[in-house]
Copies of this chain bind each other. A is one copy, B any other.
């Protein structure tokens, strides 16, 4: 084990954001392997080779680190989804991709590669800000696609836009939200296609 050291941060060293990134990367690795709940900041400090005090210079609590990991993870999912959507101009196809890529990416980032399930559980239970703003951005993305499809004539315009968007968001929610997703593993293969077909039938002009 390395000695716990407190690098002198007043001299020319790595920038603050680099140290923060380094801590987050090491913490992601550590939580993925040993779990979030049982790990303390001391455990984490020992594993990274930093002093606990040094970590506390950058993050006020374990939760603050957890929130950063969660935010990064959600950001990656969102980036994948936006990239997949940008590859097509057809609103119905955008909607299909939104559904399937959200499901695949969430499964992969929360359960397969990283096992960040416990962080997701805390995030959902304690209503972390990263999750709240992620959900708002997903709803906005959905509204934009719907708006586009209404303009192109692909989607009906009678139902109020926010009502349609909210209902579709609720249909997607079990495959977006890791707490629901963990009980939906049996359906992740078929659900995105079947549910987007249902949603598209509901949108037909």
Copies in the complex: 2
A130 to B22, CA, bound (A): 49
Please determine whether B124 and A168 come into contact, CB atoms closer than 8 angstroms: no
Q: Check: A174 CB closer than 8 A to any chain B CB.
A: yes
Nearest CB in chain B: distance from A50 CB, A: 35
Q: How far is the CB of A191 from chain B (nearest CB, A)?
A: 5
Instruction: Report the Cα distance A202→B164, complex, angstroms.
Output: 12
Query: A173: CB under 8 A from chain B?
Result: yes
A134 within 8 A of B: no
- Shortest Cβ gap from A172 to chain B (Å): 10
Task: Return chain B residues, CB-CB under 8 Å to A184.
Answer: 173, 180
Q: How far is the CA of A170 from the CA of B184 in the complex (A)?
A: 10
- Residue in B166, B197, B202 whose CB lies within 8 Å of A199: B202
Query: Which A147-205 residues sit within 8 Å CB-CB of chain B?
Result: 156, 159, 163-164, 166-168, 170-171, 173-174, 177, 179-180, 183-184, 187, 190-191, 194-195, 197-199, 201-203
Give the bracket for the number of chain A residues in contact with chain B: 20 to 34
Report the minimal beta-carbon distance from A190 to chain B, rounded to whole angstroms. 8
**Chain B neighbourhood of A179, CB < 8 A:** 183
Across the interface, which residues of B come within 8 angstroms of A124, CB to CB?
Answer: 183
A183–B167 Cα gap in the complex (Å)? 17
**A170: contacting residue among B177, B195, B203, CB under 8 A:** B195
Chain B residues with CB under 8 A of A190: 166
25 CB-based A-B contacts, threshold 8 Å: A124-B183, A156-B201, A159-B201, A163-B194, A164-B198, A166-B194, A167-B195, A167-B198, A168-B198, A170-B174, A170-B191, A170-B194, A171-B195, A171-B198, A174-B174, A177-B183, A179-B183, A180-B180, A180-B183, A180-B184, A198-B202, A201-B201, A201-B202, A201-B203, A202-B202
Closest 9 CB pairs of A and B: A202-B202, A201-B202, A167-B198, A167-B194, A179-B183, A198-B202, A174-B174, A180-B180, A170-B191
